[in-house]
Structure formats: structure tokens, C-alpha cells
Amino acid sequence: MLARGYFAPNHNGLAASRKVGRVGALIVPVTDKLLNEIEAAATIKSGARQARVFVGVKVAPEIAHELARFARCLERFSVRLVPTNDVHLTLVPPWNEASIPTAVVKLRAVTDRFGAFTLIFQRLAYGPQPRRPRLLWAECAATDDVTLLHAALLQGFGQHDDRPFRPHVTLARIRGNGSALARRQPIDQELSITQQVGSIELFQSPPPGGAGYKILVSLRLGDGAQTADA
């Protein structure tokens, strides 16, 4: 039995009166050959023996563009806006990985056990501390679906975090005085945006001086019952 995953996904969105995003992809079986190709691409790209990787959810393009539109009001300040193609929700923070195939196997062991869920974007605000912010982010609802998935992923990758889980999507990083920026440009806005999440991604961070996150593999949630020739 070989659970299916997919590589280099295409992202398609579905808009509604209450904006809904959906990320889908053409499924490609995750074979040993593909794992080797993914590992080679990751290590050769970085020029290092280890790749800097993390696990998260790719935000659907139309939602990323909508969220980025809210962040544009900060362009005249000392901030670094996150490119729309890099907008994501982090579920396992970055670490240095020596074996990409091993990371994919660990990821698949978790994604097989969880089904698709709805990610709810609730509020646009500064964080982590509103009065002394370092980020502009879109806060997401800490539903049981995303909270349990986050906990299982941390356990699966041997990580732990004593801080309360605050799911969010970073839209801008503040370079200067966050307190002054928050006073000059207050932002606290309710959102009504949802995304149907059907896959979890293993990302690679760019090397020093580089730009853009790379999706090494996307694994569809709940595919553990499917076989390679199903």
C-alpha cells in the first residue's frame, strides 16, 4: 500500500460571497525515485548538505492576493511585505534536514491520519504583541482540526513548542519601530475568508541571499487508504 502525494502543485481557487479558497493538484505517486529527485533538488539548490525546511499550508493564490492588498497600506513604512507566492501558514517551524525522503515519510505518516479541513481567516492585526509588533498577520481560528494537526506534526517531527498555538499567516515583517508604526497606522480588521485545505506542504527556505520558498512536496490529507494503482 502506497499512500499518494503530489509534487509541485497547481493552485486553483473558488470564490464565493464569503471568499473561499481551494488548493488542488494533479496527483503523482510518491515513489522512491521521486523522493530521490526531491532530495537532489533540495540539496543541490541550496548547495549545502542540509536543507532548511518547514511544514505548512500554501495559501490559495486568490486569498494571498486579497490579504496582500490589505498589507499595501504599509508600503511607505520600513516593512518587508511577503510576496503573494510565499504566503503560507506554518505548522512546523524551520529546521535543518539532512534527509528529505525521511522528512517526506514522516509527513506522510501524519497526513494519512487527517482529513481535509477549513482554514478560517478571522482578523487582520499586528502581532505577536499588538503594541510592540514585529509582524502584520492574518490570524486564523484555532479550530480542533488545525490544532490537532499541528500537535501531531510537531510530535511526528520530534519538535515541541511550549507557547500556545496561534495559527496565523504573516503578511509583512516590520523592520523599524513597531510601536510607532502601530500608532501611525493602526490596523485591526475582522476578516471573513476561508480556505478548504486538502494538502500539507514541505517547504524549503531559500539559501542566504536567495528569495522565495520552494515546495518540495505536497501530500494530500487522508490518502492513507489509497493505493498507487487506485
pLDDT confidence tier of residue 207, bands split at 50, 70 and 90: confident
Q: Is the pLDDT of residue 209 over 90?
A: no
More confident site: 222 or 88 = 88
Report pLDDT for 12.
Answer: 33
Distance CA 124, CA 170 (A): 10
Cβ–Cβ < 8 Å for 172, 135: yes
Kindly list the domain boundaries of the chain, sorted by start residue: 20-220
Q: Is the pLDDT of residue 22 over 60?
A: no
The fold of the 20-220 domain, in CATH, is: Cyclic Phosphodiesterase; Chain: A, (3.90.1140)
Q: Is the pLDDT of residue 180 over 50?
A: yes
Give 1: exposed, middle or buried? Use CB within 10 Å, 0-12, 13-18, 19+: exposed
119-134 tens-digit pLDDT = 999 999 999 999 899 9
Q: Please report the DSSP string for 154-175 in residue order.
A: HHHTT----SPP--EEEEEEE-
Q: What DSSP state is assigned to residue 65? A: H
pTM for this predicted structure:
0.79
Q: How far is CA 86 from CA 14, 29, 89, 169, 204, in A?
A: 19, 25, 10, 10, 11
pLDDT confidence tier of residue 23, bands split at 50, 70 and 90: low
Residue closest to 223 by CA, chosen among 73, 75, 60, 30: 30
Partners of 52 in beta bridges? 96
Of the listed ranges 17-21, 60-64, 148-152, the least confidently predicted one is: 17-21
Report pLDDT for 39.
Answer: 63
Q: What average pLDDT does the chain have?
A: 84
Residue closest to 202 by CA, chosen among 110, 121, 117, 139: 110
66-93 tens-digit pLDDT = 999 999 999 999 999 999 999 999 999 9
Report pLDDT for 75.
Answer: 93
Report pLDDT for 25.
Answer: 42
Q: Is the pLDDT of residue 2 over 90?
A: no
More confident site: 121 or 163 = 121
pLDDT confidence tier of residue 49, bands split at 50, 70 and 90: confident
User: Looking up cell 505548522, which residue turns up?
Assistant: 91
Q: Is the pLDDT of residue 228 over 60?
A: no
Q: How far is CA 168 from CA 9, 165, 223, in A?
A: 22, 9, 26
Report pLDDT for 161.
Answer: 86
